[in-house]
Amino acid sequence: MVTYRPFGQTGVRISSLTLGAMNFGQRGNPDHEDGVRIIHRALDEGINAIDTADVYSGGESEEIVGKALAGGRRDDVFLATKFHGQVGDNPQHRGNSRRWIVRAVENSLRRLGTDWIDLYQAHRPEPDTDFDETLGALTDLVRQGKIRYIGTSTFDPSAIVEGQWIAQRRGRERVVSEQPPYSILARGIEREVLPVAQRYGLAVIPWSPLAGGWLSGRYHSGLTAPISGRADRLPARFDPTLPANAAKLTAVDELAALADEAGLSLIHLAIAFVLEHPAVTSAIIGPRTLAHLESQLGAAKVTLSEDVLARIDAIVPPGTTLNPADAGYQPQWLTDPAYRRGGGSSARRIGVAS
């Protein structure tokens, strides 16, 4: 049975597990009826929070969630979705600008079949867009009653603090939550993101507590090739022959042995670890099948001993992300050389001919 935790300082309480809907639709499980069954099963087990995004299967995930919540289930669900990534083929249908946000929210409301979204999140930062532009648009949506709260996902700690500063100094609605990547294999947010969230009273709803499947029990030493379509698309994160991923395999083997000693499945160990951190509100689980959901539900009842937590720290030290590609976001000033060059670099950054 799940427990319920305060969602930051909002007064709302959500389940310790949030149902992530990324795997519903063509990029995961294309069977809408099966997706609805999975969602209903999660709700019946006490999960009251669902997280999706407009880019998940091009909006199809939102449509499936909308179908599942029709017929009277919507009112009891804390419903979260996200904007930022490109939806469809039009390159203008993306970003954190006011122009796109006011259109994106209407599209999400229509697909979800609802009049309001509880938590509307910026899916990633967009350094070339003034954060005040984004928060100004989101503030208007709160005041119009179309969204209840504002959140971010995979933001650096400096950007999280900037959002709080903008709200205070410029009269914007405050960001109340952050959704970062967090697992035993990707512990980088322990350095600053989680302490910053605690300092400002933000809810934290981590994604990928199973490290993209690495902690699901499917990965083990001796693996020589990716084992899923997502792995094929993202070799930097999943190719077991790369040194950073080989280090993950070694850690997974040790963690599997530890879970066995503790009488737990590796899945339960991994999710329970995320829930142990005092800054974490709810861990997002992303089942593709009903069997996946059933294998994860019990993690909400698991409490890890100090000995087990200490042994996890010995396998993957606090604050360590074994593969930097698992951080979820790399700032443009690291990935784009134009941000590190003088003499016209600003023109290159915004796509202006020099």
Q: Which two tokens stand for residue 28?
A: 């995961």
Q: Which two tokens stand for residue 296?
A: 């994860």
Q: Which two tokens stand for residue 337?
A: 């050389």
Q: At what angle do helices 266-276 and 306-315 cross, to 10 degrees?
A: 100
SS (H, E, C) 37-53: HHHHHHHHCCCCEEECC
**Which residues does residue 207 pair with via DSSP β-bridges, in sequence order?**
181
Any idea which residues carry the catalytic annotation? 56
**Which helix H or strand E contains 259, and what residues bound it?**
helix 243-261
Q: Over the Cα atoms of the chain, what is R_g?
A: 20
Give me the sign of the Cα torsion angle 44, 218, 180, 348.
Answer: negative
Task: Work out the number of other CB atoms within 10 angstroms of the CB of residue 60.
Answer: 20
Cβ pair 8, 42 in contact under 8 A: no
- 175-179/147-153 β-pairing: parallel
Nearest C-alpha neighbor of 277 from the set 345, 332, 215, 203: 203
Nearest C-alpha neighbor of 351 from the set 123, 128, 122: 128
Q: At what angle do helices 193-200 and 157-170 cross, to 10 degrees?
A: 20
Q: Which two tokens stand for residue 132?
A: 């005040």
Nearest C-alpha neighbor of 9 from the set 149, 132, 142: 149
Nearest C-alpha neighbor of 134 from the set 158, 170, 108, 180: 170
